[in-house]
Structure 1
Amino acid sequence: MTFFHIPKLWQLPESSVTPEHVFLKRRRFLQTLLGVGLASASLTELGCQSQSNAKDPFAGIKPLTSRPNRAFTVSDRPLTNERLAATYNNFYEFGGSKSTWQNAQALPIDNWKVNVTGLVKQPRTYDLDDLLKRFPLEERIYRFRCVEAWAMVVPWLGFPMNALLREVEPTASAKFVRFTSYFDPQVTPGPSFPPARFLPFPYFEGLRIEEMANDLAFFAVGIYGHTLPKQHGAPIRAVLPWKYGFKGAKSIVKIEFVAQQPDTFWNTIRPGEYKFEANVDPKVSHPRWTQERERLIANGADFNWVEIPTLKYNGYESYIAHLY
């Protein structure tokens, strides 16, 4: 399938910061963006589909018990305010604006299943109870860096990906892993424009096996001491802190081990802009904006943008530089 018929709407990157007084008023924010376009995973949504009446960004969450992993913390910048993190999200299946948390409340997570298949000796299907109880849960505080040049610091709860690798035992032929996210056109309408029918849903992403086995690679089932809100990718998402955020597939339903490098969602749509590896690197600019600096969403009751230099591999070079 090709996608050459998708209109080229992306004339300005979201890295051009919208003034705060406009940003905090959603209606004026959307009007400002209308016809301009958003960069990357936040392509313009010209009016939300399937608008939810949800008012609570923490609807349905439950407390989660985990142990802090002191090896993975952040001391050079503050933890992002939880409400800000919960209401400023990319979740393209539910729309193209940053307020997709409202639409995302429609995500059905009861009776969730994750199918692990492909080139493994022990294929498995995990339900939600397995995800919460089978693997020892820990809390890791990670930097989060979006390709759009904004950043957060987030306390994820979950388990390392290599724990799942040990359980399913990939064969020697397995060189890559492919993640597939939940998609149902009746529930996940996608953006208003371009229409979802022109896009290669369901969302899919991939890693090399060596990347998945790295100590940093993480499956999150919670955040800020509780289960994941739906807009964060409940009930399970990938967290890869040295890569741009779009590599972290949300609401995963399938994990497939394969021999050949898999296609990925954004690389399929915009191959000149979104590479398979997608590692954070200030010296490698996006074609439409620099990645040398980022806008940190810091503490506070409202958005407080702090511009800081981008760290190579998002500050995790000692863990993963040998892979590249």
Structure 2
Amino acid sequence: MLIRRPDPILPSEITPEAVYLERRRFLRQAAFGSAGIALALAGCEGESAEEAPPADEPTPYKDVTSYNNFYEFGTSKEDPARYAGSLKTRPWSVVVEGEVERPGTLDLEDLLRPFTAEERIYRLRCVEAWSMVIPWQGIPLGTVLERFAPTSRAKYVYFETLHDPAQMPGQNRGVLDWPYREGLRMDEAMHPLTLLATGLYGRELPNQNGAPLRLVVPWKYGFKSIKSIVRIRLDERQPPTSWSTSNPGEYGFYANVNPEVDHPRWSQRYERRIGELRRRPTLPFNGYADEVAHLYAGMDLQRYF
């Protein structure tokens, strides 16, 4: 399922949360054609996974916005919702530089003006094998990068989160080498499923979920989906990324969802949805194999994890 640029609509016309919950046909189609972003998975031993139901119910908005990974505001899952109110998301701009013919600064309002928020359902996996189903809104990253005319030397895309310990108190702790950094290969960044997300459930993106602009890479573990982006750089060489630099034995650069590659401290074969007790099998590329597996043809995915 590809993410297209829709015709302009008003924010008031975006489907509200209550309507999402009634859209059974939409959910069935989404469950068939899409899967989503994945954060680091943790598994439990000694349990069998049951077959997943044919339709994926959206996770309640309350759960989506109260159980988050955003270490800039603390390492507890409840910390981002508790402390992210200190983040000021307006005005906001993103520097785009490096191997582009037209480097510049992208203002958030200019970014949103030619586009509208389009509904998409993605499965968002969180630590401890919990997972969520979230309707994201956003803009294909490739469409944005094309505005800056990448050169033929652009092989990778680097992303950087805001570094401001006064607004992000978790950055006062040495959990990671701040600011948070991530990267994609150029073909991954230009894939139509790679999204710059600006909202969820028809609402503006909450601070704790990465406001005002975050990355969504549906077939990768969620630490690749960097939040509160302020810098994008195109480069010839693979950029350093926060988790693969901090702990390269546990977190690789590619981070493709792969049930055959266990984290050194847990299995990644299963996931659990928020509100469910049973486990579900983890799908290769998070269910997007038909759309993205060709990007890695010939690669040893256990070595390049």
Q: Tell me the TM-score range normalised by the shorter chain.
A: 0.7 to 0.9
| Equivalent of residue 287 in structure 2, options 315, 319, 322 | 315
Among 165, 190, 195, which residue is 1:213 paired with?
Answer: 190
1:134 aligns with 2:114: yes
The residue aligned with 2:131 is 151
Structure 1 residues 64 and 115 mapped into 2: Cα distance closer, same or farther (>3 Å)? farther
User: Following the alignment from structure 2 to structure 1, what is the Cα–Cα distance between the partners of residues 14 and 236?
Assistant: 34
Deviation for aligned residue 1:148: 4.2
Amino acid at match of 1:174: A
Aligned to 1:95: 74
Q: Pick one of 159, 167, 174 that aligns with 1:179.
A: 159
Q: Measure how far apart 1:277 and its partner are.
A: 0.3
The count of corresponding residues between Structure 1 and Structure 2 is: 254
Q: Which runs of 5+ in 1 are unaligned?
A: 1-61, 298-302
CA contact (8 A) 1:283 1:292 kept: yes
Question: Does residue 288 of structure 1 match 2:276?
Answer: no
| Residue of structure 2 in register with 1:166 after alignment | 146
- Give, as a single letter, the amino acid of the residue that structure 1 aligns with 2:234: F
Alpha-carbon shift at residue 117 of structure 1 (Å): 1.1
Any residues of structure 2 matched to 1:1-324 within 5 Å, and which?
65=13, 73-75=30-32, 76=54, 77-100=56-79, 101-146=81-126, 148-190=128-170, 196-197=173-174, 199-297=176-274, 303-324=275-296
Amino acid at match of 2:77: K
| Runs of 4+ in structure 1 over 4 Å off | 62-68
Further displaced range: 144-153 or 89-98: 144-153
Q: Which amino acid is the alignment partner of residue 320 of structure 1?
A: V
Q: Report the CA distance shift for 1:280/1:141 in structure 2 as closer, same or farther (over 3 A).
A: same
Give secondary structure in 2 for the equivalent of 1:165. helix
CA apart distance, 1:66:
5.1
Matched letter for residue 321 of structure 1: A
Residues 160-212 of structure 1: CA deviation (Å, up to 9, x unaligned): 11111221111011100011011212221217xxx624631010100000001
Q: Residue 246 of structure 1 aligns to a residue in which SS?
A: helix
| Cα offset, 1:242, TM superposition | 0.5
Q: Which moved more, 1:195-204 or 1:281-290?
A: 195-204
> Does structure 2 conserve the Cα–Cα contact (< 8 Å) formed by 1:147 and 1:246?
no
Q: Secondary structure at the match of 1:273?
A: coil
Report the alpha carbon displacement of residue 305 of structure 1 after superposing the two structures with TM. 4.0
Native 8 Å contact 2:117 2:202 kept in 1? no
Give the deviation of 1:82 after TM superposition: 0.9
Give 1:122 deviation, angstroms: 1.7
Give the TM-score normalised by the residue count of structure 1: 0.74
Deviates more, 1:307-316 or 1:133-142: 133-142
Unaligned runs of 5+ residues in structure 2 are 1-9, 21-25, 33-53, 297-305
RMSD: 2.2
Distance 1:153 1:267, change over 3 A: same
Give yes or no for contact 1:238–1:249 (8 Å, CA) kept in 2. Answer: yes
Higher relative contact order (CA 8 A, sep 6+): 2
Tell me how far apart the structure 2 counterparts of residues 78 and 232 of structure 1 sit (CA, whole Å): 19
The aligned residue for residue 53 of structure 1 is none
